[in-house]
Structure 1
């Protein structure tokens, strides 16, 4: 598989750089084994990752000339680096469920993209940057690249509705203010899982991808605008509590293999146990324990897609010492045994 890496990287770079225009113009350039169409139009490609660096996939779909959608799912055994050179201004919305990676700019240096985060990045034309994914990282993400005017016009993005610290990020002002991260809300997290687990093919896959990507964008900017309206009461106890609960969620996502006890988590975020349990369920719609278990089982379901991993290896990867306990927990969560995944 080694000889496939260089052309694959070049074509990934071209897809990012030209909004997949290269694929439309020269489809024959994409006729190598690890790429295949995944939807019913000529605007989607799937890149299988199956070498010594990573196992998983990237799906790239361009619903129109102004937008590129990238779904990424995979386990990276070694560090992965990719240089990106946009040929025009691009606004990127990146929704990261899990995975440790960052962006390196020549003038600003490296910025980390947190797990369980949504971020907005405005990249100027020909302002290259390096994207890197850490070794031993399981990446689950949805990335939406859009031409600025398409984003503003299609989704009703108005500068006056943005807080001052986001205006340059969203509308392309000072280069040292081109990236901002937010914690994933429960709704955004569910959208990401829906996109990465969709069972559809053909026209349905295309429509579902487009609809859920639009929903993610709507959710992100609605939440930004709602928070902006609440700025006069940002220092209230209710707002402080919300920040602490999102911090608790982030900790649970990052340490899903061995999550802290509820008591330890409460101490870490500065809440008492009763308040943490009650308010966590109010905001996220599940108890702390239910959230941990659901997230862990969904990670297991992702890993089971890799047929090179045994079920016992997957169990160990998600924090189970005994495979039998993992099998029982998986069946309780999904209603079928882990081995049934391999039959799909």
Structure 2
């Protein structure tokens, strides 16, 4: 099983990655990890791969001062869960005009399948990029669904027929819970067999969240937004993330975006999968969690203040609603 990468711009991207049959792992615990990095022509990338039977989790972090692209060609059926956490996105264009393009931009995810890869993959420029790719075998999918891919609907039918497909026919917004699960994988402190069990469970949870969101969207279709409105909503989201301590009102955000209140609220939920204020709260809580775990701050009250809470009790209540436990529990 081979995946060939080819690039005219970056010699480092000319290589062949070999996969064990069924993504098998030749270690006693059935898991291995590989970390690597490279820097070339304005691109700095650090990767962390976790190999499990039937699953490969790849987390990429780095800087792309310029965009880059390369050719992909596989000799085996390729399935991937893809999450663009903080990037401008990536685009895959199959050479076969009959196959669907995969377009995944910042804050989006997709579940995709190709009987074989043969096309161009393009990464857009971005500082502080973070994306996650989880490769799955068909056998892994059959195992967790007990050989019944019916829950995947037409996507499952395409897999059985070895036909290219993107579940839901497009990319979808990453929800706060999806993002939290991804960060739980990245922060996992377990080792050995416990880490193997933990990571596999989180991959299955992520897949469940993807399938549920996509199926819900298929059952309750929404009106597509114009590209310019989506861009405005991304600008609002970026402004929120850059100024988490600022208590923006809906009116202020509406003026920033040049959208009326209703279009902002409904459009934001369509693009990002949650309400404006739920998104702000989740982002604040995730930042607070990282700050507490980091241990650089003297008290929970200081962390609360730094993410915009004047009242530590209000922060503690919001934190518990978000994660199900108290901030002080992270210090134990």
Q: Does 1:332 align with 2:322?
A: no
Instruction: Describe the SS at the equivalent of 1:191.
Output: helix
Instruction: Describe the SS at the equivalent of 2:210.
Output: helix
1:107 counterpart (68, 75, 96) = 96
State the Cα deviation string for residues 64-114 of structure 1 (Å, max 9, x = none).
Answer: 1x2222111222223333433222112211122121211121123864212
- The question of whether the paired residues in 2 share the 8 Å contact of 1:92 and 1:121 is answered with yes
In 2, the alpha carbon distance for the partners of 1:97 and 1:86 equals: 25
Instruction: Describe the SS at the equivalent of 1:115.
Output: coil
In 2, the alpha carbon distance for the partners of 1:206 and 1:333 equals: 34
Instruction: Describe the SS at the equivalent of 2:209.
Output: helix
1:121 counterpart (83, 101, 112) = 112
Shift of 1:188: 0.8
- The question of whether the paired residues in 2 share the 8 Å contact of 1:91 and 1:147 is answered with yes
In 1, the alpha carbon distance for the partners of 2:32 and 2:136 equals: 15
Name which of structure 1's ranges 181-190 and 205-214 shifts more when overlaid on structure 2.
205-214
1:191 counterpart (170, 176, 181) = 181
2:255 counterpart (264, 268, 271) = 264
Report the TM-score, using the length of structure 1 for normalisation. Answer: 0.60
- The question of whether the paired residues in 2 share the 8 Å contact of 1:16 and 1:84 is answered with no
- Match of 2:77? 89
- The question of whether the paired residues in 2 share the 8 Å contact of 1:73 and 1:138 is answered with yes
- The question of whether the paired residues in 1 share the 8 Å contact of 2:176 and 2:279 is answered with no
Instruction: Describe the SS at the equivalent of 1:264.
Output: helix
Instruction: Describe the SS at the equivalent of 1:271.
Output: helix
Q: Which runs of 5+ in 2 are unaligned?
A: 1-9, 225-229, 295-301, 309-332
| Pair 163,257 (structure 1): closer, same or farther in 2 beyond 3 Å | same
Q: Which runs of 5+ in 1 are unaligned?
A: 26-38, 242-246, 305-327, 335-344
- The question of whether the paired residues in 1 share the 8 Å contact of 2:59 and 2:133 is answered with yes
- The question of whether the paired residues in 1 share the 8 Å contact of 2:22 and 2:139 is answered with no
- Match of 2:297? none
Report the TM-score, using the length of structure 2 for normalisation. Answer: 0.61
Superposed CA RMSD in Å reads: 4.9
In 2, the alpha carbon distance for the partners of 1:294 and 1:47 equals: 30
- Match of 1:209? 199
Q: Does 1:14 align with 2:5?
A: no
In 2, the alpha carbon distance for the partners of 1:17 and 1:172 equals: 23
- The question of whether the paired residues in 2 share the 8 Å contact of 1:152 and 1:158 is answered with yes
| Pair 292,60 (structure 1): closer, same or farther in 2 beyond 3 Å | closer
Aligned length: 276
Of Structure 1 and Structure 2, the greater helix share is in 1
Instruction: Describe the SS at the equivalent of 1:88.
Output: coil
In 1, the alpha carbon distance for the partners of 2:268 and 2:95 equals: 44
| Pair 199,133 (structure 1): closer, same or farther in 2 beyond 3 Å | farther
| Pair 176,106 (structure 1): closer, same or farther in 2 beyond 3 Å | farther
Instruction: Describe the SS at the equivalent of 1:145.
Output: strand
- Match of 2:49? 60
